[in-house]
């Protein structure tokens, strides 16, 4: 191989290694949070080789599901792992060598609301973790009459509601980035 070929291969290898190190460094900083089941979610529950025990079930508004041999069971507020273990415990009495699978077929409970002076106010189903700026973009952006410095995010929390302030101009300008919080299920963004 020529010297220029070695130089190119070395540069490619260096870029690859640097990108892998960057990816590991940045993903290590992200917290891993188990998905919490909520009302409206559709779950695919299946027992291997048991067609009668394979169903799509919708989590009811009260957080409960109904499944053969188990009856009514609380699913809302539990992680997939917690629900799987509870179902395994209840079904193992009826099914020897139980091989159970519980998967979220459709996410419908991770909702946020954007109201007020945005171009497309409404309810939005989230399939990923987004922040306030991204939610405002999903709502079509602010309309010309919006009070950009007076946006509020309302969140249900233990002990009552929490209110977070958001100044669109500051965040969009690279200031007060801590105001651009990650949204949680049920958050309401109000744009006066």
Q: Which of 28-42, 132-146, 176-190 shows the lowest mean pLDDT across its residues?
A: 28-42
Q: Which domains does the chain have, with CATH numbers?
A: 42-106 (3.30.1950.10), 111-191 (3.10.560.10)
Q: C-alpha distances in angstroms, 165 versus 55, 100, 116? A: 43, 45, 15
Tokens 């009552």 sit on residue: 160
Q: Kindly tell me if the per-residue pLDDT of 19 is higher than 50.
A: no
Q: What average pLDDT does range 109-123 have in this prediction? A: 95
Which tens digits make up the pLDDT trace of 77-90?
999 999 999 999 99
Q: Which of 20-24, 54-58, 60-64, 89-93 shows the lowest mean pLDDT across its residues?
A: 20-24
- What contacts 90, CB < 8 A, 6 or more positions away? 69, 70, 73
3-class DSSP state for residue 64?
A: strand
Confidence of residue 2 (pLDDT cuts 50, 70, 90): low
Q: Kindly tell me if the per-residue pLDDT of 114 is higher than 60.
A: yes
Q: Kindly tell me if the per-residue pLDDT of 11 is higher than 50.
A: no
Q: Kindly tell me if the per-residue pLDDT of 26 is higher than 90.
A: no
Q: Kindly tell me if the per-residue pLDDT of 45 is higher than 90.
A: yes
Q: pTM here?
A: 0.69
* Residue 3: predicted pLDDT: 53
% of the chain with per-residue pLDDT over 70: 83
CA–CA distance, 19 with 146 (Å, rounded to integer): 41
CA–CA distance, 119 with 136 (Å, rounded to integer): 9
Would you say 43 and 104 are in contact if contact means Cβ atoms under 8 Å apart? yes
In three-state form (DSSP H/G/I as H, E/B as E, the rest C), the secondary structure along 65-94 is EEECCCEEEECCCCEHHHHHHHHHHHHCCC
Q: Is 167 exposed, middle or buried (0-12, 13-18, 19+ CB in 10 A)?
A: middle
Average pLDDT, the chain: 86
Q: Kindly tell me if the per-residue pLDDT of 181 is higher than 50.
A: yes
Q: What average pLDDT does range 97-105 have in this prediction? A: 93
CA–CA distance, 172 with 115 (Å, rounded to integer): 20
- What contacts 13, CB < 8 A, 6 or more positions away? none
CA–CA distance, 146 with 184 (Å, rounded to integer): 23
């Amino acid at each position: 191989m020529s010297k220029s070929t070695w130089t190119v291969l070395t540069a490619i290898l260096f870029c690859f290694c640097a990108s892998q190190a960057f990816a590991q460094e940045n993903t290590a900083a992200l917290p891993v949070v188990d998905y919490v089941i909520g009302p409206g979610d559709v779950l695919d529950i299946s027992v291997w080789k048991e067609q009668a025990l394979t169903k799509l079930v919708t989590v009811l508004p009260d957080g409960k599901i109904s499944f053969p041999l188990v009856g009514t069971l609380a699913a809302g507020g539990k992680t997939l792992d917690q629900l799987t273990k509870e179902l395994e415990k209840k079904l193992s009495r009826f099914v020897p060598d139980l091989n159970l699978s519980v998967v979220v077929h459709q996410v419908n409970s991770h909702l946020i609301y954007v109201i007020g002076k945005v171009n497309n106010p409404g309810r939005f189903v989230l399939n990923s973790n987004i922040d306030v700026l991204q939610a405002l973009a999903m709502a079509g952006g602010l309309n010309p009459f919006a009070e950009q410095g007076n946006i509020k995010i309302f969140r249900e929390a233990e002990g009552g509601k929490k209110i977070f302030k958001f100044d669109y101009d500051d965040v969009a300008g690279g200031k007060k980035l801590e105001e651009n919080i990650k949204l949680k299920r049920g958050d309401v963004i109000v744009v006066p």
